[in-house]
Amino acid sequence: MYKFNSNKQAIYVSKIEEDKCILEIYQDNQMKKKFEGETPIAVWEKSEQMKKYNGDQLFGLENSLVQTLAKLPSCFPKNWNDYSIMKSLYDYHLKRRTISNLNWHQFFLDWLEQESPVVELYSQLQILYPKNHKFGDRELRAWQSMLRDTGSHNVTPWSNKESEYQFWSRSSQPEQDRATLQQLSKIGRALDDNKQNCDGKRRVLSIIADEFSYSELETNLNVGRHTISESRKHARINSYGAPLLEKPVIHRIKLKEEMLSQFESFFADKRNVNMSSYKTDNKSGLPVLYLQDHKQALWKKFHEQFPNGMQRTSFMTRLDEDLGELCMTCNECGYS
């Protein structure tokens, strides 16, 4: 009994249901106020009543008898293979709140075997339960309580209103997993806001593409394997999250008719080529021409004769590949 609302006497009822603490205030046989929180202290702070006491005292949790009765079974991930320990936790948390004949222990064994310490709770439970099973709030809260008492941690970086997905970690350093999920969440939002091109999704995803496996990125970010592959390629070529490197601009200029005429007249000169008397080109039908000298010497001669003519690259490119039945090495060395 304590005063409430204009100094009238009221009855304060505190209780703990599953993983939730509740404070109810009754006056004139009616419930006037109800407060809920994760801890007794949080609930009493919300009520702003009896501030000289803390929530644990007002819930009676500091009483020695209550503390003895409140000792709950608990363990750590290293104990998950011990069925007897896990069974005591199952009996306390889940047995009366879920379906019978459930292979609940397999949930923890599979979790231990996987490489990543993080699981998404609802998707893993759907594997465990029949396809048509509908989860109630009471059942889900029981699972959450059991997970906490088995040494795992809720590392979901967002509220239930933002997303229904809930991630749990068996790691001894859960804050690292929470930070990783926060980064993935930001990357996911950035992917949604960007177009599917080299400077959009691929560039954003390249920041973390090498830090996670294909399956983790596909599941958590809903992206395809091709996008992941291209993002990793982007990271190797341009660096992580960097914009595309500017490609060199190649300008091609057509040769003037005068330059082409100079080239043709040069190779029509018998001082530079020999004309075959019996071999002809299969495509043009014209006689095959044999070079009198190797290409480098011919270029020097051409450049001296036509200093304002075509450049060396154009000259070498336009030379016929038939090198007088000589291989490239022999031709370059000056053999005839």
Q: How confident is the model over 324-334, as pLDDT tens digits?
A: 444 445 545 54
Which residue ranges make up each domain of the chain? 2-69, 77-169, 194-238, 257-333
Residue carrying structure tokens 């000289």: 52
**C-alpha Rg value of the chain to the nearest Å:** 40
Backbone angles phi, psi at 48, to 5 degrees: 60, 30
Closest Cα partner for 266 from 226, 237, 304, 232?
Answer: 304
Q: What is the dihedral of CA 200, 203, 207, 209, to 10 degrees?
A: 100
What's the pLDDT score for residue 58?
A: 63
Q: Which residues contact 164 (CB under 8 A, 6 or more apart)?
A: 122
244 by DSSP, 3-state: which?
Answer: coil
Q: Do residues 272 and 306 make contact, with C-beta atoms less than 8 angstroms apart? A: no
Over the chain (336 residues), what is each successive 10-residue block's mean pLDDT? 68 75 82 81 78 69 62 84 93 92 95 90 92 92 93 88 85 88 70 54 72 77 82 80 74 82 88 81 76 87 91 82 48 49
DSSP 79: G
For helices 137-149 and 83-93, what crossing angle results, to 10°? 140
Q: How confident is the model over 6-33, as pLDDT tens digits?
A: 667 778 887 877 567 888 888 777 787 8
Instruction: Give the ranges where the chain is alpha helix by DSSP (H).
Output: 40-47, 55-58, 64-69, 83-93, 104-113, 121-128, 137-149, 174-193, 201-205, 214-221, 225-238, 257-266, 295-305, 312-318, 328-333
